[in-house]
Amino acid sequence: LENINNFAMTKIKSVILVTEIDKELIREILKVLAM
């Protein structure tokens, strides 16, 4: 059960990380489009 919990936390953290990267990418794209 402990392993499943750790696995779930790792998945959640990686999803959060991807979301943060996506936000940065979207900002950069919007900057380029705004030019």
Q: What sign does the CA torsion over 9, 15, 17, 23 have?
A: negative
CA distances from 33 to 8, 20, 25 (A): 37, 20, 12
Q: What per-residue confidence (pLDDT) applies to 34?
A: 93
Full pLDDT tens readout for the chain, 35 residues: 788 899 999 999 999 888 999 999 999 999 999 98
* Single pTM value for the model: 0.53
Give 1's DSSP letter.
-
Helix (H) or strand (E) holding 15: helix 2-34
